[in-house]
Structure 1
Amino acid sequence: MRLPLRYHFMLDERLGIRLPSLRLEWEEYTSSERDDILLAWEEIRATIPDQILRVETVIIDKTKQMSEEENFEVSCQLNSEIHELASVINDLNIWFRVQQDHETKMHQ
């Protein structure tokens, strides 16, 4: 009989990365499980700067399109898309700091 997963990482389509899905409080995981989670997260976390660069490239392209766009409605749509992409970058930056914040708390 297979036991249910106590944790896993699920792809967040909006952010383009896998995010942790923890079923227990951090302290309830064994030391080995915590090490495995942190190792997996560190590998994912290392991809975040590249993901931010990809999103920034799209923002730059959309900004250029918007500056050349004469149709007000299309320009507003592009502006909305840029706003959403900026929100994605903000969220990616927050997730990038998760490991760093956790390590800071453990050393205090």
Structure 2
Amino acid sequence: MKNEFFSYNSRLGIHLPRFSKEWHSYSSEEQELILLEWERVRGMIPDRIQEVEVEIERLQGELAQEENFERSCMINGEISERASEINDLWIWYRTNPEKTQRGIM
């Protein structure tokens, strides 16, 4: 199931929907399976966000101790990337597709 309709996104650390056709082209049963799996994945997103927040806190601690300007810039870049991951995770978390007669996601 995951391999057919979802693929792992290493940047975000979760599986994301990956469709080979338009949502309305999937059968009602396929839509139901996809939505069930999405709810499972979606339920893991807050935990994933918390993991990234812990990483940001660690990086901020490292930044506070860093005296090398170039290394400080690199750490700031890493913090920015992690913050971007959190934003993307929240966007995916708020994605709440619905099953319809022939579906629209």
TM-score (norm 2): 0.87
Partner residue, 2:69: 72
Partner residue, 1:90: 87
Partner residue, 1:55: 52
Note the aligned Cα RMSD (angstroms).
1.2
Q: Which has the higher contact order (CA 8 A, sep 6+)?
A: 2
TM-score (norm 1): 0.85
Gap regions ≥5 residues in structure 1: 1-6
Q: 1:9 aligns with which of 6, 9, 27?
A: 6
The number of residues matched between the two structures is: 96
Partner residue, 1:3: none
> Deviation of residue 98 (structure 1)?
0.9
Gap regions ≥5 residues in structure 2: none
Runs (4+) off by over 6 Å = none
- Equivalent-residue separation in structure 1 for 2:79 and 2:89 (angstroms): 15
